[in-house]
Amino acid sequence: MSLEDLHLTLRNLTPEDYPQLETLMDAIYHDIGGAWTKHTIDTLIATFPDGQIVIEDDGRLVGMALTSRVDYEEFTNPHKYDDLIGKREVIHDDPDGDAMYGLDVLIHPDYRGYRLGRRLYDARKELCRSLNLRAILAGGRIPHYHNHAEELSPTQYIDKVTRKEIHDPILSFQLANDFQVKRLLRDYLPEDEKSQGYATLLEWNNFLYEPAELVLDTRKTQVRIGAVQWQMREFDSVEAVLQQVEYFVDALSDYKSDFAVFPELFNAPLMGLQDRAAQQDQMSAVRFLASFTEKFKAELSRMAVSYNINIVAGSMIEVGKDDRLYNVSYLCHRDGTLESQAKLHITPQERRDWVIEGGDGLLVFDTDAGRVGILICYDVEFPELPRLLAEQDMDILFVPFWTDTKNGYLRVRHCAQARAIENECYVVLCGSVGNVPSIENLDIQYAQSAVFSPSDFAFPHDAVLNETTPNTEMIFFSDLDLTRLTMVRNEGSVTNLKDRRKDLFDLRWRDWSWKSGADLEEN
């Protein structure tokens, strides 16, 4: 049969298909009882019509997949095929079941080699997702086991099939379709002499499943990020800076952003409120800057509530309870909650000129628009930190930064993009621009803010969702689809997080209390 002769259609089974279905099942299942009765098939169609799928070629039935709904907890425990069958050979279908059970998949011998079985399995998976069911279960025969029964136990046979040392027409096919063997089933189908009564319990997990009790409390999956590439400029008062901040927050809120993001130390120009002589004492100048932090925290929290937007407040200098200085980012939730993340790795310049200390805690923040982390500038150059956050199911990593030269910027950018790829998350890079020669240490800035994604088919070819014009004050937006992260983590071309060799290496945080900087005040 040539490909030009095929005219394939995927559709649901109807009662009128029974004569062809009976012929097909009798031919394939001649050794284990042949076809189901018409009453059995008609009842299954009536109770779960969407689950009965066939492929026809110009009206000829050439493939079919029969399915019922079951309780996941019950059928992931040991069971037999007869547990699915009621009186008069009626297949149990539970309308309240949270899983699908694959009963039969058959392909006409003349049509094998066209991957029609995979087509039926893909249709089942899409149905499972659309119905928000937990998984697809199946009791899989192992029909070639009788050829190896004398030298291999069923478990050894399954292991060799899994490693592709032995081919089994059913188990090998199931494994190739992303099913996992959960357990061995004994006396599953006693009349199946080729399998010697054994079967595998197979499971395909619907990683998009949302339990019914969580449906009303489900997080957003479409998240809009709004960020400000901030112009460093001279200000004559704290109020002038806050007025500029509120202008941007208002604008980002008007565009229905879920987050407003600002750069690292965006309020640093306030050091210019001191006279030039006072600025020469950099330790005194940075402590002067820290004196405004509490006011900024209060005002940004007010804006988050008033404008209904979560604000990643770049970073500011804060005096800890130990009277030491820390570079701290704040997450102002739109419900009024305030959380913080200290910069952990301090650059040589910060340590030398300002005597900034590194924090000692790392947080993942739960928000109404995903689980997020914040790493301030230099911290993103240490891949251990984003990996620890990724292990806490982070969706979005915010990186407020401040770099003076292009090579410094590119160092941060390249590291941030690598973090998006290796941790299968979104990374938002937000920096400041402008030259303020009248203020010590604010001479020059270089920035091109951007949003990075994992590198796979679901995302742009260069894994850059958006980026700004370099060295220009502006706002920019990106819409992030969190469902795509779930897909790439489970079914991507590569699956970095899943494929880590934890048998060879691991990574751990020394103190798993996950407090934000023990030396900082509670917020």
- Tell me the three state secondary structure of residue 88: helix
Given the residues 343, 350, 424, 473, select the one marked as catalytic.
Answer: 343
Given the residues 377, 415, 425, 430, select the one marked as catalytic.
Answer: 377
Instruction: Tell me if residue 343 is catalytic.
Output: yes
Instruction: Tell me if residue 297 is catalytic.
Output: no
The per-residue b/e assignment along 376-394, b for 16 or more CB within 10 angstroms, e otherwise, is bbbbbbeeebbbbbbbeeb
d(Cα 433, Cα 466) in Å, to the nearest integer?
18
> Cα-Cα-Cα-Cα dihedral of 476, 479, 485, 488, to 10°?
-90
Per residue, the 3-state secondary structure of 3-47, as one string, reads HHHCCEEEEECCHHHHHHHHHHHHHHCCCCCCCCCHHHHHHHHHH
Helix (H) or strand (E) holding 433: strand 432-433
What residue type is assigned to position 506 of the chain?
D
Given the residues 203, 264, 440, 473, select the one marked as catalytic.
Answer: 264
For 73, the token pair is: 């907890």
Instruction: Tell me if residue 377 is catalytic.
Output: yes
What residue type is assigned to position 229 of the chain?
Q
- Tell me the three state secondary structure of residue 90: coil
Residue with structure tokens 């069911």?
A: 133
d(Cα 269, Cα 271) in Å, to the nearest integer?
5
d(Cα 134, Cα 139) in Å, to the nearest integer?
17
Report the chain's terminal Cα–Cα distance, integer Å.
Answer: 72
Which residues form the catalytic set? 264, 343, 377
